[in-house]
Copies of this chain bind each other. A is one copy, B any other.
Amino acid sequence: MTTQQQNTGVTAAKGFRASGVTAGLKASGAPDLALVVNDGPLLAAAGVFTLNRVKAAPVLWSEQVLKGGQVSAFVLNSGGANACTGPGGFQDTHATAEKVAGELGLNAGEVAVASTGLIGVRLPMDVLLPGVEQAAKALSADGGEAAAIAIKTTDTVHKTAQVTSAAGWTVGGMAKGAGMLAPGLATMLVVLTTDAVLESAELDAALRAATRTTFDRVDSDGCMSTNDTVLLLASGASEVTPDQAEFAEAVRAVSADLARQLVGDAEGASKDIRIDVTGAATEDEAVDVARTIARNNLLKCALHGEDPNWGRVLAAIGTTKAAFDPDRLDVAINGVWVCRDGCVGEDRDLVDMTGRDIVITADLKAGRASASVWTNDLTADYVHENSAYSS
């Protein structure tokens, strides 16, 4: 596989057009509406959505659309989450899908919708619907970058990734947000596209396998979104039926690339942190321990301060139900085993934490399973961004 750069994100694969325009939903005047259209010949699709029980209107809508297994277009707006907006909010989503369908001559039941922004505020449909007309006119076979820009909220950079197989097919994608799929922060939206020839069930298997170890294991701040949506659309335009394992790996690679970009651009973060848990009895326990470490505010503050405070790692592990013996726990920070057998190990002064990347390794010595979770430090900038967000 090679990475191609000539056309980026959701239009890297053949058979897709995209656009990103300024409808006027954001006070800043930045682009706020993206449209991705699958020109086929296939319209196969798979999706995963937030597990939050409080789901935004577009999530409820798109879950229904995906049940049909066909998506011809996907419209995404920033500047408003359309969550906790009641029946009126759902009608707004429906009207948005109908508008896309009308502009492009499609069936509204095959138009997926995603929204991101502040919860609890209705979308200004008098602004959004003309934006859809504009987005439809702007569709282009190299519109992937414009679309990625239009879905940004607090993102400082837009995120795209793509992988092309020697067999002649491509998987590309775009993402916004700084958090995880389920739970997820302040709304992660991801669109993956491929021109490989695949059925929806095959897409679904590849997508679920990929998200399980990528987007699902990004935990920037432990807050689950009402709007998280990840769709994988296949056009079949390459006319190549891929090897399933190679295709699954390509979807995983693009997802991992985008997930890594999300962590790298998380709100207010100054450190990108990977928590590796090894020696767990089961993978579920490894994930649980890694996630619990990743969510410990005291530790996240210490890491921000470049303080190799391994005691806070142990205190976090101790709150889980995973199999381990407190007197046998080993913890390394950036490769220095500062904790051995539950107490002081190598000299903490040997730990170099000056770089942006930090790796914490916790060996539970209770089995052979392992897992990694990606997170960020907790900073004054995070507090500032999130205390001023809606005001």
The reply to whether B52 and A301 form a contact with Cβ atoms under 8 Å apart is no
Residues of B within 8 A of A310 (CB): 84, 120
A201: CB under 8 A from chain B?
no
Interface string of A371-391 (1 = CB under 8 A from B): 000000011101111111111
**CB proximity of A236 to chain B, nearest CB, Å:** 37
Count of chain copies: 2
In Å, the complex CA distance between A186 and B311 comes to 11
In Å, the complex CA distance between A315 and B116 comes to 13
**CB proximity of A316 to chain B, nearest CB, Å:** 8
The reply to whether B342 and A54 form a contact with Cβ atoms under 8 Å apart is yes
In chain A, residues 292-318, which have Cβ atoms closer than 8 Å to a Cβ of chain B?
Answer: 295-298, 301-302, 304-307, 309-312, 314-318
Residues of B within 8 A of A344 (CB): 84-86, 120-122
Pick from B89, B298, B380: contact of A384, CB under 8 Å: B380
**CB proximity of A313 to chain B, nearest CB, Å:** 9
Residues of B within 8 A of A185 (CB): 298
The reply to whether B301 and A387 form a contact with Cβ atoms under 8 Å apart is yes
Contacts A297-B297, A342-B84; is A226 near B389 (CB within 8 Å)? no
In Å, the complex CA distance between A391 and B327 comes to 25
The reply to whether A224 and B84 form a contact with Cβ atoms under 8 Å apart is no
The reply to whether B315 and A223 form a contact with Cβ atoms under 8 Å apart is yes
**CB proximity of A114 to chain B, nearest CB, Å:** 16
Pick from B307, B314, B385: contact of A84, CB under 8 Å: B314
In chain A, residues 100-124, which have Cβ atoms closer than 8 Å to a Cβ of chain B?
Answer: 118-122
Pick from B54, B88, B316, B382: contact of A315, CB under 8 Å: B54
In Å, the complex CA distance between A186 and B379 comes to 19
In Å, the complex CA distance between A44 and B301 comes to 41
Taking CB as reference atom, which chain B residue is nearest A297?
A: B221
Taking CB as reference atom, which chain B residue is nearest A308?
A: B390
In Å, the complex CA distance between A242 and B209 comes to 63
**CB proximity of A382 to chain B, nearest CB, Å:** 7
In Å, the complex CA distance between A343 and B56 comes to 11
In chain A, residues 315-353, which have Cβ atoms closer than 8 Å to a Cβ of chain B?
Answer: 315-320, 324, 326-327, 329, 339, 341-344
Q: Which residues of A contact B (CB under 8 A)?
A: 51-55, 81, 83-86, 88-89, 118-122, 183, 185-186, 221-226, 295-298, 301-302, 304-307, 309-312, 314-320, 324, 326-327, 329, 339, 341-344, 378-380, 382-391
11 contacts between A and B (CB under 8 A): A51-B319, A54-B314, A84-B314, A86-B341, A86-B342, A119-B312, A223-B296, A223-B312, A301-B386, A307-B389, A383-B383
What 3 pairs across the A-B complex have the smallest Cβ distances? A119-B311, A305-B387, A54-B318
